Amino acid sequence: MRDVAWAALAAALIATPGLTSERLELGLPVDCELGKNCHIQQYVDYDPGPGQHDFMCRNLSYDGHKGTDFGLISYVDMHAGVDVIATAPGTVRGIRDDMPDRLYTDDMAEGLQGRACGNGVVIDHGDGWETQYCHMAKGSVTVSAGDQVKRGTPLGQIGLSGRTQFPHLHLSVRKDGAVVDPFDPDGAITCGTPSTDTLWIDPPAYQPGGLLAVGLGVEVPEFEVIRAGHAHSAQLPATAPALVAWGYAFGGEQADIVRIDIIGPEGPVFDHDALLKKPQAQLFRAAGRRLRGTGWPVGRYKVVVELIRDGKVIDRMQGHTDIE
């Protein structure tokens, strides 16, 4: 779709979730496995003021957010290609496919006015319903305006275009121009109690934060190296100067604990608890031990990372590295 038409669609958005009588039944908009190689990072914002909260009254949203974000673990996954698929039958109203994939920075704000969605597709499902798919990879869109699509029809692939700082698909659902949260379509949320009345055919489980990846190396990695998917070392020499384990997580809340353990062939090597001082949409924590002596015992080293909230483990992930 041309920018003028795309801007007209964006201008029609209303930030208050709502629903009229007719229903839309949705399948997942991404061809990935939630909890394995993708996750839901953010939901529709229900807070009418400057703050934010999702339909569970937690922090998996940001101020004014109008959709659901299906995030990938790393750029490696993005470059491998993850399909965006139509959630329901309909007619393609428009597309954009020429914007570059790159991390958003504040100096890009002016140039992205009216184009924050990046590359994407809008589908008209009839009866006032439409879905919009944003941040798709440049050159990946496979449909054209006027095409008829079925539920599950490939539309393109997840990318990093528009106003985004991690590879994901932003899905917006609208009824007569008003934003609808598919997890709570009537907008009458009850904090802490998931709605059983959703638009999803098979509702995705709500995960209030969790681990995305863990790894081991010889130093604290840069965050972008972790996000790229290149921070973990599958093999290290016995003379490695240090062993540093890390955990990459989403949906961190104040007072959460990231517990990091390194276990070697001869038993525990190192353990550390990192306390989160503030909420963070995405984060990593790393800790480790320097080499003492001439070398590490040869064998397999296991990294175990736990995300702990209110004294309970809400997620646990492990990986391994071979020292030779």
Whether residue 72 contacts residue 168, with contact meaning beta carbons closer than 8 Å, is answered with yes
- Looking from the CA of 93 toward its CB, the CA atoms found within 13 Å total 19
Show the CA angle centred on residue 170, arms to residues 87 and 43, nearest 5°.
95
Q: Which two tokens stand for residue 22?
A: 């007719």
Q: What is the pTM (predicted TM-score) of this model?
A: 0.90
Q: Where are the beta strands (DSSP E) in 197-266?
A: 210-217, 235-236, 242-252, 257-264
Cβ neighbours for 217, distance < 8 A, ≥ 6 positions apart: 231, 232, 233, 236, 244, 246
Q: Please state, in angstroms and rounded to a whole number, the distance separating the CA atoms of residues 324 and 322.
A: 6
Q: What is the pLDDT of residue 22?
A: 67
Cα 213 to Cα 262, 283, 284, 287, 289, distances in angstroms: 15, 11, 9, 15, 20
Q: Please state, in angstroms and rounded to a whole number, the distance separating the CA atoms of residues 123 and 130.
A: 5
Q: What is the pLDDT of residue 15?
A: 36
Q: Please state, in angstroms and rounded to a whole number, the distance separating the CA atoms of residues 140 and 145.
A: 15
Whether residue 252 contacts residue 283, with contact meaning beta carbons closer than 8 Å, is answered with yes
Mean pLDDT by 10 residues, the chain (324 residues): 44 38 87 94 92 91 95 96 98 97 88 93 97 98 98 98 96 96 88 83 95 98 96 98 98 97 97 97 97 96 98 98 97
Q: What is the pLDDT of residue 145?
A: 97
Domains present along the chain, CATH in parentheses: 3-179 (2.70.70.10), 210-323 (2.60.40.10)
